[in-house]
């Protein structure tokens, strides 16, 4: 007997705002986000705050409380602001998601209530996972406070936590209800977090937009010096590229094998694990970009001049292009300490056959399904020399 | 500044098969399900088995192993068959989902691998939740073995487990990769499970299809006597109604407030909790249908003749129309032991304002946003008398 063939289409829409000082009483963004939904008013909302944000912005809890008082006609704080650890800590221990579920339950949130998470990408990921699974999905508002979240992960449709030593092993695809990128939190970022945040913008430029790469090159010194006007433009452009890709790829929930937004990420995920998160995600992505760019060059897909420009830009932005863990046990690709094991872990995470994105030019990416081990080892060795001697400005012709 | 407005559309397709003895080597359904996907072959698959199925079908594990051997060109068993407790037990303790995550991880399943769950609705729900969250979603094949799963939950797009004493508090919307309804498992169902499974078919008929109700009425004695030919037709029709509703409702992931497929379910969910699952889901749904049908009648939406037909059909199918817990603390609707509290819990679970479906005729449902407490109490009292005296065949005119 022929089966019944079920076909379902689900449409998701969400706005991405760029603003400054979202919890200033005069800032209407959050008010507008909640008001545009039909339903009971005032809407009940639970705020979850990244401990790192609180440390640098000690008034944020009173700001939130005051915002809710000023806008009490549309917003009702459902519980005291709940604080969670920032960075990978919140993703590494499943207890935090269990705590979030309990807080959401005790606040009696319904599926038309809101969870607003304020923090970096890791906190948005963990809170997003908890919100997506309570009542099968409570409306999630992401208030992104780091450069890395604003130009990349916060505008996407994923959430997740780490498990079994693997990055994002548990999670769901769940578009947010709204994204609010608040530039007001950026000045208190550490220099490391600032620089790390730029790597995803470089990635977006490399795979999608040569003109954006030119801009990053021209403004590299200003970006490294934390020029806010330039940074805001860069964040918006990077977010736009990510949003456009997700909307037009035809596979926003990644049911196929390709993941074009993950250029450089197989090594980055593995390096985060190998360094026990000494490298932040953005820093690891910087190294991963350098590695796959160098592989593209040594495998003769990418010209030397473009390779040189890319490595030079990463360095000009203050991003490392090498980490010692790249060289550990490099000849022993069955060893869990070998970065090359990251290729298989990446394949397993995506599913299906290995698919790695490479470059044949700046703004011109393509997929391969095989990686030559010897060429990848030579890529690591070349980056090590670049790192030790800072030689990209010199000729590397002998390595071709 | 105007926000960027992101719009994403995600299309899901899955087949629903009706078959008998899915693990007979000559049955090509599972083979076809896996073969139709492009990708690496053979595909890796983890089987998760409902302990209750194993008890009644002790050869099923060897049948599965033999099936994989016979079809080794397309299917590779990734790990030994993993057995989980059946019924709400598997949904009540989060340890089972954690165990499933570990088994999925240890089997190195990727997002193009398969998890096939064989069991009743509770097992499909819990395994579905684990599969939907590992790697953000591994392909899930539901092999439904109970009447209740086959005619209702297995063909839907939800999964979940219980938490904080609330049914399905944690879960996701995640369409399966395929559904296989295997009639071969039905003969070993207990009489209680058989009868309970019929309630969702009655519900589908009541809200969507008067002709189907007529059929159920005509065949009530045969269904109660477990006539398999009639049952197969009823399961298919019920599954079709559920599938058509999900595909055409415009809100398959229930972002709005209405949940038309949940007629009678506010009281059912509460009764499962109040009876500590002494009542199975299907049995509780039977009582819930009786209650909201009686409310529809006493609130003068539904005529007496239709009310009488519906109650009579439920009784003819062997379904209870009343449970003593309906009457507990009925005057104290703030008491957690009062069934009326289920209205608010249902509202919270759906989100937004209270939306309850009622009947104005057989096959003619509509939504209300308010329930009169006094009329609901009278409905419980009437059902209690019906239950005690079996009086639906007599006139109930005095209660109008």
Helix ranges (H only) for A299-400 are: 304-316, 341-350, 373-389
Distance CA A110, CA A88 (A): 28
- CA-CA-CA-CA torsion sign (A90, A96, A101, A105): negative
Count the neighbouring beta carbons within 10 Å of the beta carbon of residue B311. Answer: 26
* Mean pLDDT of the region A273-287: 95
pLDDT, position A36:
83
What percent of chain A lies above the pLDDT cut of 70? Answer: 96
Tokens of B298: 């006493």
Is the pLDDT score of B392 beyond 70?
Answer: no
Tokens of B30: 């599972």
Kindly identify which residue of chain A lies nearest to residue B38, measuring between CA atoms. Answer: A352
Tokens of A25: 């009483």
Confidence band of B200 (pLDDT split at 50, 70, 90): very high
Confidence band of B39 (pLDDT split at 50, 70, 90): low
Kindly identify which residue of chain A lies nearest to residue B40, measuring between CA atoms. Answer: A352
Is the pLDDT score of A394 beyond 60?
Answer: no
Top pLDDT among A393 and B103 is at B103
Cβ-contact A144, A157 below 8 angstroms: no
Confidence band of B331 (pLDDT split at 50, 70, 90): confident
CATH 1.10.3720.10 fits A192-387, yes or no: no
pLDDT, position B249:
85
Top residue of B1, B2, B10 to mutate, by most chain A CBs within 10 Å, is B10
pLDDT, position B227:
98
Flag if B252 and A173 touch (Cβ within 8 Å).
no
Name the residue ranges covered by the structural domains of chain B.
16-188, 192-387
Cβ-contact B24, B17 below 8 angstroms: no
Kindly identify which residue of chain B lies nearest to residue A165, measuring between CA atoms. Answer: B105
* Mean pLDDT of the region B249-264: 84
Confidence band of A254 (pLDDT split at 50, 70, 90): confident
Tokens of B43: 């595909």
Q: Is B136 on the interface with A (CB under 8 A)?
A: yes
* Mean pLDDT of the region B79-107: 97
pLDDT, position B260:
74
Is the pLDDT score of B391 beyond 80?
Answer: no
* Per-residue DSSP letter, B144: E
Kindly identify which residue of chain A lies nearest to residue B244, measuring between CA atoms. Answer: A6
Distance CA A117, CA B103 (A): 32
Top pLDDT among B335 and B268 is at B268
Please write the tens of the pLDDT for every residue from B142-190: 999 999 999 999 999 999 999 998 889 999 999 999 999 999 999 999 9
Class at the top of the CATH hierarchy for domain B16-188: alpha beta
* Mean pLDDT of the region A41-47: 92
Residues A74, A78, A81: CA angle, nearest 5 degrees? 110
Cβ-contact B76, B110 below 8 angstroms: no
Confidence band of A398 (pLDDT split at 50, 70, 90): very low
Strands A75-77 and A139-144: unpaired
Confidence band of B348 (pLDDT split at 50, 70, 90): confident
Which chain B residues contact residue A168 at CB under 8 A?
Answer: 136
**DSSP-assigned letters across all residues of B335-374:** STTSTTHHHHHHHHHH-SS--EEEEEETTEEEEES---HH
Which chain B residues contact residue A173 at CB under 8 A?
Answer: 136-137
Our CA-based measurement puts residue B278 at a distance from the nearest CA of chain A, in whole angstroms, of: 24
* Mean pLDDT of the region B372-387: 96
Flag if A135 and B4 touch (Cβ within 8 Å).
no
Of the candidates B46, B169, B168, the residue with the CA atom closest to the CA atom of residue B109: B46
* Mean pLDDT of the region B347-351: 81
Kindly identify which residue of chain B lies nearest to residue A350, measuring between CA atoms. Answer: B111
pLDDT, position B218:
98
Scanning the structure block, which residue is given the tokens 């996972």?
A129
Cβ-contact A40, A112 below 8 angstroms: yes
Distance CA A253, CA A245 (A): 12
Cβ-contact B101, B137 below 8 angstroms: no
Burial of B395 (0-12, 13-18, 19+ CB in 10 A): exposed
Burial of A395 (0-12, 13-18, 19+ CB in 10 A): exposed
Please write the tens of the pLDDT for every residue from A315-335: 999 999 999 999 999 888 788
What percent of chain A lies above the pLDDT cut of 90? Answer: 86
Please write the tens of the pLDDT for every residue from A300-315: 999 999 999 999 999 9
Tokens of A383: 């980056």
The phi and psi torsions of A140 (rounded to 5 degrees) equal: -115, 125
C-alpha torsion A159→A176→A233→A226, nearest 10: -50
Is the pLDDT score of B394 beyond 60?
Answer: no
Count the neighbouring beta carbons within 10 Å of the beta carbon of residue B133. Answer: 29
- Of the CA atoms within 13 Å of residue B143, those in its CB half-sphere come to 25
**DSSP-assigned letters across all residues of A131-176:** HHHBTT--EEEEEE-SHHHHTTGGGSSB--EEETTEEEEE--B---
Please write the tens of the pLDDT for every residue from A112-137: 999 999 999 999 999 999 999 999 99
Top residue of B15, B136, B249, B370 to mutate, by most chain A CBs within 10 Å, is B136
Of the candidates A104, A107, A161, the residue with the CA atom closest to the CA atom of residue A134: A104
Cβ-contact B121, B154 below 8 angstroms: yes
Please write the tens of the pLDDT for every residue from A334-357: 888 999 999 998 888 777 789 999
Flag if A14 and B6 touch (Cβ within 8 Å).
yes
* Mean pLDDT of the region A61-76: 97
pLDDT, position B349:
79
What contacts B328, CB < 8 A, 6 or more positions away? Answer: B274, B337, B338, B339
Q: Mean pLDDT score of chain B, rounded to an integer?
A: 94
Flag if A247 and B163 touch (Cβ within 8 Å).
no
pLDDT, position A39:
64
What contacts A365, CB < 8 A, 6 or more positions away? Answer: A206, A207, A208, A260, A263, A357, A358, A359
Burial of B269 (0-12, 13-18, 19+ CB in 10 A): buried
**Range in A191-205, A207-221, A321-335 with the lowest mean pLDDT:** A321-335
**DSSP-assigned letters across all residues of A254-295:** --SS--GGGTTHHHHHHHHHHTTTSS-HHHHHHHHHHHHHHH
Beta bridge partners of B366: B358
Q: Is A253 on the interface with B (CB under 8 A)?
A: yes
Which chain A residues contact residue B134 at CB under 8 A?
Answer: 169-170
Our CA-based measurement puts residue A342 at a distance from the nearest CA of chain B, in whole angstroms, of: 14
Tokens of B396: 């109930």
Scanning the structure block, which residue is given the tokens 């078959």?
B19
Our CA-based measurement puts residue A244 at a distance from the nearest CA of chain B, in whole angstroms, of: 8
């Amino acid at each position: 007997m022929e089966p019944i063939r079920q076909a379902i289409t689900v449409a998701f829409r969400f706005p991405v705002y760029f603003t400054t000082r979202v919890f200033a009483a005069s800032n209407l963004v959050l008010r507008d986000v909640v008001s545009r939904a039909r339903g009971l008013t005032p809407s009940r909302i639970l705020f979850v705050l990244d401990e790192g944000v609180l440390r640098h912005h000690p008034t944020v809890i009173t700001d939130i409380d005051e915002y809710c008082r000023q806008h009490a006609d549309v917003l009702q704080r459902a519980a005291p602001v709940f604080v969670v650890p920032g960075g990978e800590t919140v993703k590494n221990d499943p207890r935090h998601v269990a705590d979030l579920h309990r807080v959401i339950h005790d606040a009696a949130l319904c599926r038309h209530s809101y969870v607003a998470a304020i923090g970096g990408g890791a906190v948005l990921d963990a809170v997003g996972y908890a919100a997506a699974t309570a009542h099968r999905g409570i409306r999630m508002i992401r208030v992104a406070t780091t450069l890395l979240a604003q130009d990349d992960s916060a505008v996407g449709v994923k959430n997740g936590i780490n498990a079994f030593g693997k990055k994002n092993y548990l999670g769901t695809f769940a578009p947010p209800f709204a994204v609010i990128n608040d530039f007001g939190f950026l000045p208190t970022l550490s220099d490391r977090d600032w620089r790390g945040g730029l790597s995803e913008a470089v990635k977006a430029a490399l795979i999608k937009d040569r003109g954006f790469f030119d801009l990053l090159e021209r403004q590299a010194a200003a970006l490294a010096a934390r020029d806010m006007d330039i940074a805001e433009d860069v964040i918006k452009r990077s977010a736009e590229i990510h949003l456009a890709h997700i909307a037009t790829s035809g596979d926003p929930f990644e049911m196929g094998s390709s993941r074009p937004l993950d250029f450089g990420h197989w090594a980055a995920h593995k390096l985060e694990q190998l360094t026990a998160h000494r490298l932040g995600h953005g820093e690891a992505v910087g190294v991963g970009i350098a590695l796959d760019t160098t592989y593209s060059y040594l495998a003769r897909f990418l010209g030397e001049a473009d390779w040189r420009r890319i490595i030079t830009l990463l360095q000009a932005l203050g991003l490392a292009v090498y980490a010692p863990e790249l060289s550990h046990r490099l000849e022993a690709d069955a060893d869990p300490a070998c970065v090359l094991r990251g290729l298989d872990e990446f394949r397993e995470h995506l599913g299906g056959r290995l698919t790695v994105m490479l470059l044949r030019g700046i703004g011109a990416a393509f997929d391969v399904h095989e990686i030559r081990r010897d060429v990848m080892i030579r890529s690591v060795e070349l980056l090590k020399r670049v790192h030790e001697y800072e030689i990209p400005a010199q000729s590397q012709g002998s390595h071709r």
